[in-house]
Structure 1
C-alpha cells in the first residue's frame, strides 16, 4: 500500500483517508452497548466458570477480522477513487494499478472509449441486471448448495453510476485471418454498486464490487453489408480478479475463509460464462449462422505433467514444534481447473499428476499452479497457502516440449517440476494411429488422442412428461468422464439452446457422445442419443454440420439438431509463428549493458525472449572510478559466441547448460576491480507477471588467501530498501570452492510502479568463519532503475568490499 499512498506533486487524485468513527450520537450509543457487551461477556465467563479460551478466542478472531477488513476497505476505496479520476491523475499519483498502456508500448490509450462507456452505462445497467437474474443467480444458488447454503436469490441489483474504465486497447494486425478483427481490452471496474441478496433466509448485500482482467473481443465474420461485422465473441483470456464487500446480516461472513466461499462461487460462474474456453457470443447480422459464432474453436491441447515439488514451506504445527505440510496442487488454465490429491507430512511431494487443457488462445493464456497445505476442517476453507507459479502457454508452444523447474512466488522457498507439451489439432486421419500410440505410453494418467467440438442448436417435438403441460427441458451431454449441462428452457417442447462444448476424447474409435433430455419439473427423461464418434472418421473433414438426429426413447418425431467436429492431436513440435513483441533498445548512456539470451530460468514469459539481433557480444568494460552505489555501471555483458541460428535452441535449454555455452574471456578470468572475484547474474522483469527474476549462475576467482582454508561460498540477496526476511533469498552452500556454480533462480513480486525505486544487494559469504560465523567475501549493489527490463540480461559483476552503510 505504500506505493498507493505516494502522490506526485500537483496530482488531483483524492486518495481515501483512514479516519475514526464520526463523533455522533449513534456512534456513542454503539460504543456504549459494545462496552456493556464486553463487560457482560467477562462476567458470564466467570459466572459459568468457563475456560478463559472462550473469551480470548472470539476476541482474537474479532481483532484479526477488523484488521483484515480495514486493509480490504482501504484497498477498495483506493480503487474506487482511481475509477472516478482522470487517467492523467492516476498516472501522476503513481498507483500500483496503472493503465496497461504505461507498461506495454503496443497498447494504445483509450480515453475516448471511457467517455463512451460513461454515456452507455445506464443502458448497460439494465442489461446486466437481466444477466444477473437469469444466468448468475441460478448458477450461484447451485454452487452454494454444495456448501449447505440454500435459497440464494438476488433482491436488488443497482450497479451505480461509476462506469468501467479501459486501461488500454491492443488491436492485432499480424498472423490473423482476413475474416476477423481481434482486440484486447484492459478492463477495470470499481463501482458503487448496491446488490442485495438472500441466502439461508439471511439478508445481505454486496458493495464496492471490483473486477479487473484482460477482455478479448473478436469481430467475425466480416461481411459486405451493414453492420460489416457478423457477430462478436467476448471473453476473458484468464480468470479476472474479483473483490467485493459484504454488508448487512451477511457481514458476519466477510472474513478470510468464509467470504472466499461466496467469492469462489461467483468467480466460477463468471468463468463458465466468459473465461476461455467459454465465450459470450453476440450475433449482429441475421445472415450469419449462429453455429459460426458459438461452435468451439480450440487451437490445441496443452498436456501437463505435474511431477513433484521440493523444499516447500512447513505450515503444520506438531507436538514437538514445527511440523511439515500436507501439500496438494490446484492447476488452472482459464476456466479449466484440476486438483491433485494431498500428500501427508511431506515438503518434497511427488504427485506424477497428468491433465490436459484445451487451449483457445495460445498467445495469451496462462498456466497457473497454486500449492496449498491441506488442513481438515468443518467445511471452512482453512488450508494454508504454500505459493504459486505461472507460465505463459506461448512459451510451451515455442518449444513444443518443456521440462522446467518453477520457483514459487509469494513463498519464502519452494519450487515445482513441470513437464509440458503442446499438441496442435489435425483433420488428417493418418495422425490418429500415432496419437493413440502416445496415449498408451502414459500409465499414471489417462490422456486423449482427439478433441470433439459439439454445437447443439435445438430440439424438436419433445414429449411431455405430464399430460396437458409442456416440459422444462435441459440436456446432459457426456463424453468419457466429462459432463456438461445446458440451461433449462421453460415450458416448451421445442427448446433452443445454441450452445457449444469441447470434449477430450481418449479413443475416437470406441468412445461415444451421450446426450440425455430431462424434464426439470419431474426429473423424468424425455429422450436420449448415443452417437458413435467413430462415425465422424468417415465424414469429410471429420465434421458433421447442422444435422437432425432422431432421439431414442422419446416421441416418434423427437429430434436434436447439432453440429460435430473432430480434431486429432498431433505430436509436439516447435511453433515458429508465435508473434514476438517488439523490443526497443536501451537508452543511450556510458557503456550501457548489452542484453544476451538468458536461460529458461529467467524466461518466465515468452514474449520478452531476446531475438538473435540482441545477442551481440560486447567486451567493453567501464573502468571509471565510481562509488559502490555506481557498481551496476561496471557490469560487463557475457561475451557471446552463439551464432544467430542457434539462439532459438539455446532458449529452450536448461539454465545449467546455457551458462557453459558462454565463453570465459580475459574479462571473466580476472578477479575483478577489487580482486575479490566476479559473479555472473541474469536479470529480468516480467511485466505480465509483475515479477523480478534473478538467476545466480556462478562466481569466478574468489581469492584464496590461505590454501588450508578453502572457502564454502554461498550467495544471499536482499531487496532494498526495507531489509526483511520476506525479501531475503539464499543459494545453497558449495563446499571447498573458489569457482562455485549455482544456477539458482529467485523471484520477487514487485509492482511496475515500484521497480525503479528499489535495488538488490547481492552478498557472497563463506560458512567457514570463527565460531560458526559467515565472513563476507564481496558484495554487489544492483540499482534497478539503471536497466531497461524489456530484455533479459546476463551480466558479470565485480565483487566489491562490503558496504558498511
Structure 2
C-alpha cells in the first residue's frame, strides 16, 4: 500500500507557485535584504567609528522627504479630483480651487467649453508632443545645463485622458478697439499624463502634471471673410502655478531643492513662450500681415524702486541661538525678473534697488516681491523663504505714483517699502528731453526714457558658412545690456523668424540696435547690422515699417527685413480712464458725481453685530479715520486724512473698479481713533481694521493701537505686543506677530497681516487676537487680554475699523 502511495505521488505533476505565492516570496526576500542593509549600515558606522550624525542625518532627511511627499501627493490628488468632478460636486465639496465664476460676477460659466475640450483632447496629444519636443526640450536642456545637469531629452509624451478645465470665461466689451476681441480664461489642468525623460543617463518621468493660471486670448484683427478673425494671441497674464510628481530613477530628486530646480526651469520656459510680455501668436488668415500679430505692443513702463525692508524673520543659526538673516529680494512681473544683492546679517535691509518692467496689460498684471535669506549653495532652493507680497499694477496706474509698505505674506512678520510710478508711452518727440532729464535726476544710470519694439521678419541670401553645406543661422539682437536670441533655422540661407522683442532704451539719441547673424554649426558670423536708434526720431510716428536693410560684413546681397517702433515715456500722472466698469448693487444705483458735503459732527456709525467681547466706540466720530484701501494697503502707510474727505469705493473685482470721482459719493463706517474707556473687563481696548479682498481671496487685518492698558505697578510698565492666530486649527503657519513696543500702556503698531482663505470658508473662521507683554518672570510673556473675532458676524465688502474690548484669556480647546 505504501508503494502504491509512492507511485501515486510520483505520478502527480508538480504544482506551480501561484502569483500570490511568488509575490510573497519576493516580498520576503526584499524585507530580508532591507533588514540586512539597515543592520549593516549601523554596524559599519560603529566599525568605522564615525560620528552618529552619519546615521541620524540620512534618517532625518528621509523622514522630512516622506512628509513633504505626502503633502505634495495630497495636493495633487485633490487637484485631480477637482479635474474629473462635475462643477456641482466641486462647489458642494468646498474644494479650494473653486471656479472663477463663483467669486467674480462678470465671469461666465463655461461648462459647455469643458465638454468640447473633453471631446477634442485625444487630438491635442499630437500637437502637444511636437510642442514639447521642438520647443520645450531644447530650452529646458539649456536651462538645466546651467546647474551642471546635461543630456536632458524627452522619450515618451502622453497627456492622458483628463482634459483641462475652464473655471470661467470673461469677455471684455468696454474700452476696446473695434477690430479686436479680448477674452480671459481661467484654465486648470490636473491630468494623468505620462512623460518620460533622460537626464545625465538617468531615466525618469513626470506624472500628475498640474498647471493653473489665467490665459488671455486676443482675437485680432476682425475681417469680413471667414474665419472672421485674422489671428489669435494667446498668453498667460502672470506666471502659472505648476506642480508635478517625479517617478522612476529620478524619484530620488523628488524632494525640496532638486525638484525646485526642474520646476523653476519648466516655469521659465513657459514664461519665455507665453507669459507677458511674451505671446504665442496663431495666424488664421493669409490676408493679415504677420507683423500685426507678432509686433510687441507695450502699454507702458512700471518703474520700481524697492527701498527697504523691516522686521524680517531671523533664519540664520549662530553660536548663541538664532542669528539674523542675509536678505535679498526677487521682483517678478510676468516673465520679467530681477534680483537684488544680499545684505549680510541685517533684518532691516536697505536695498535702494531700481528696475523697470514693460507692461503689456495694465489691468491684469501683478507685481510680486519675494524676500529670501541667502545661504551659500547651488541657488535659491537652498535659501530660506522670508515671505512675499503681491500688488496689482492697476493700483499704480490709477495713482500715477504710489509709495506703500506691503506686509509679507507666508511669514510671521516683515514688510517691504515699494515706490512705484506708471509711465505711459507716446510718439510725441517733445516728451524726450523731459524723459531723459528725469532719468538723469535719479542718477542710477540704468533707467530708460523710451521703449523700442523690434520685429524681425527674415534674412535673405546669407553667405554659406562652408562651401559643402548651408548654414544653421540664428540672430542675436542687442540694445544696451539686454540681448535676445532667436531660434535656429536649419540648413537655409533664407531663414524666416517672424519674432518680436521689446527693449528699454536709456537715450535714443545715442543708443544703437545691434543684430548679429551667427551659424550654430561653426560659430562663425554671417553678417551684422548696427542701426542708430536716433534715425527713428526723424520718422513719422517714430516708426519704420518692414524694410530690407543690407547686412554688414556679409554677402553682397545679404539683408534683413525688420520693423521698428520707438515710444517715449511720459510723466507719471493719475489715469482716470484705467477702469470704466463698475459693479452696482440693486439698492445702490450709480449717480453722477457731486461735491461731498462735510459730515455732521454728531453723526455716528451704523451699528454692527458685535462679536464676543466687542464694543463699538461710543465717542463721536470727529477724529481721523484709519481704514483699508481697495488695494489692501492700510491707512498706516499713508498720511492721516480728515474724515470729511474720505470716500470709499465699492469693493469689486480688480477688473471692475471705478475711480472715486466717477462713482456716487459714499461715506464709510467711521471710528474715532481715541477712546477713554478701558473696556468691559478693564484690560484696555484694541483698534482693528478688517477686510476681505474678494479678487485675491485674502483676509486683511490691521492692528492699529491699544488704549488704556491698566498699570498695576508704576515701576513695571508693560512692553506690549500683539500675536494673532487664524482659528480653528491654531498653527505656526497662521501665526502673525507685531513688534514689541517698549514701556507703553498706549502702544501704536499699524501693522497689516494677511491670510489667504477661500471665500467659502470665511464664515467658519475666527481670528484670535492676544495682547501680551515681554516683561514676565524669566523672560516669559504674560497675557494682558484677548479678543476672538468671529468672521461670520461681519460683511467684509467694505473695511471695518472697530474698537474691541480686551477680555481675559480664554482656555484653549
TM-score range, shorter chain: 0.7 to 0.9
Change (3 A) 1:652 1:508: farther
1:674 to 659, 675, 680: 680
Q: Indicate the residue corresponding to 1:754 in structure 2.
A: 761
Query: Which of 657, 663, 667 is the equivalent residue of 2:639?
Result: 657
Q: Which moved more, 1:83-92 or 1:480-489?
A: 83-92
How far 1:47 sits from its partner (Å)?
3.3
User: Which residue of structure 2 aligns with residue 600 of structure 1?
Assistant: none
CA drift of 1:666 comes to: 8.2
2:691 to 684, 694, 701: 684
2: distance between equivalents of 1:331 and 1:778? 39
Alignment partner of 1:448 is 2:454: no
Partner of 2:489: 489
Counterpart of 1:176? 176
Preserved CA contact (<8 Å) 2:725 2:734? yes
Residues 678 and 707, structure 2, Cα contact 8 Å, conserved in 1: no
Q: Which residue of 2 aligns with 1:389?
A: 389
- Report if aligned partners of 2:615, 2:805 keep a CA contact under 8 Å in 1: no
1:701 deviates by 5.6
**CA deviations over 1:73-116 (Å, ceiling 9, x no partner):** 22211211211111111111111111111122221111001001
Offset at residue 161 of structure 1 (A): 0.5
Output the CA distance in 1 between the equivalents of 2:111 and 2:214.
Answer: 17
In the TM superposition, residue 698 of structure 1 has moved relative to its aligned partner by 3.1
Q: 1:430 to 1:769 in 2, by over 3 A?
A: same
Alpha-carbon shift at residue 657 of structure 1 (Å):
2.2
Residue of structure 2 in register with 1:549 after alignment:
549
Give the structure-1-normalised TM-score.
0.87
Whether the 8 Å contact between 2:636 and 2:750 is mirrored in structure 1 is no
CA contact (8 A) 1:330 1:370 kept: yes
What is the root-mean-square deviation in Å for CA atoms of aligned residues? 3.3
Partner of 2:604: 619
> For structure 1, which segment, 467-476 or 756-765, has the greater mean C-alpha deviation from structure 2 after superposition?
756-765
Deviation at 1:440, TM superposition (A): 0.8
Aligned pairs for 1:422-501 (under 5 A) are 422-501=422-501
Q: 1:349 to 1:687 in 2, by over 3 A?
A: same
Distance in 2 between the 1:614 and 1:308 partners?
40
Q: Secondary structure at the match of 1:500?
A: strand
Write the mapping of 1:534-613 to structure 2, written as runs, cut at 5 A.
534-579=534-579, 582-583=582-583
Question: d(CA) in 2 for partners of 1:790 and 1:783?
Answer: 16
Distance 2:173 2:271 in 1: 28
742-751 or 311-320, which deviates more: 742-751
The corresponding residue for 2:100 is 100
SS for the counterpart of 2:239 is coil
1:184: Cα distance to partner? 0.7
**Within-5 A mapping of 1:269-288:** 269-288=269-288
Q: Name 1:782's counterpart in structure 2.
A: 789
Structure 2 CA distance for aligned equivalents of residues 648 and 55 of structure 1? 54
Instruction: Give the aligned partner of residue 69 of structure 1.
Output: 69
Is structure 2 residue 254 aligned with structure 1 residue 248?
no
The residue number in structure 2 matching 1:371 is 371
Superposed, which structure 2 residues align to 1:128-527 within 5 Å? 128-377=128-377, 381-527=381-527
CA gap 1:169/1:707 in 2 versus in 1, 3 angstroms: same
Change (3 A) 1:737 1:532: same
Partners of 1:648 and 1:197 in 2: CA distance: 47
Q: Secondary structure at the match of 1:68?
A: helix
Displacement, 1:40?
2.2
Counterpart of 1:697 in structure 2 is: 704
Instruction: Report the equivalent of 2:11.
Output: none
Q: 1:27 to 1:394 in 2, by over 3 A?
A: farther
Q: Which residue does 2:41 correspond to in 1?
A: 41
Provide the rounded CA distance (Å) in 1 between the counterparts of 2:334 and 2:244. Answer: 21
Please list every run of 5 or more consecutive structure 1 residues that lacks an aligned counterpart in the other structure: 1-21, 589-610
CA distances 1:516-567 after superposition (whole Å, capped 9, x unpaired): 0111111111110000000000000000011111111111111111100000
1:578 Cα deviation (Å)?
2.1
Q: Which residue of the partner structure matches residue 731 of structure 1?
A: 738
Give yes or no for contact 2:632–2:693 (8 Å, CA) kept in 1.
no
Deviations 1:483-537 (A, max 9, x none): 0000001111111100000000000000000000111111111110000000000
- Mark the CA change 1:196 to 1:565 in structure 2 (over 3 Å): closer, same or farther: same
Q: Distance in 2 between matches of 1:781 and 1:380?
A: 38
**Secondary structure at 1:67's aligned position in 2?**
helix
Separation of aligned partners in 2, 1:579 and 1:403: 21
CA distance in 2, matches of 1:361, 1:159: 31
Instruction: Quote the Cα distance in structure 2 between the aligned partners of 1:744 and 1:380.
Output: 28
The offset of 1:216, in angstroms, is: 0.6
Structure 2 distance, partners of 1:726, 1:542, is 53
Q: Indicate the larger mover: 531-540 or 69-78.
A: 69-78
Q: Is the 8 A contact 1:621 1:635 kept in 2?
A: no
- What is the alpha-carbon distance in structure 2 between the residues aligned to residue 172 and residue 111 of structure 1? 19
CA distance in 1, matches of 2:432, 2:635: 30
Q: Secondary structure at the match of 2:364?
A: coil
Task: State the distance in 1 between where 2:230 and 2:680 align.
Answer: 69
Give secondary structure in 2 for the equivalent of 1:269: helix
CA distance in 2, matches of 1:613, 1:758: 37
Q: Kindly report which structure 2 residues correspond to 1:523-534, keeping only aligned pairs within 5 A, or say none.
A: 523-534=523-534
**SS class of match (2:446):** coil
Tell me if structure 1 keeps the 8 A contact 2:549–2:560.
yes
Inter-partner Cα distance in structure 2 for 1:64 and 1:75: 17
Asked if structure 2 preserves the Cα contact closer than 8 Å seen for 1:671 and 1:703, the reply is no
1:319 deviates by: 2.5
1:569 Cα deviation from its structure 2 partner:
0.6
**What's the CA shift for 1:215?**
0.5
What's the CA shift for 1:401? 1.0
Alpha carbons 1:586, 1:788 under 8 Å: kept: no
For the structure 1 residues 651 and 581, does the alpha-carbon distance in structure 2 shift closer, same or farther, using more than 3 Å as the test? farther
Q: Deviations over 1:722-760 (max 9, x none)?
A: 334443333345566665433221222333343221111
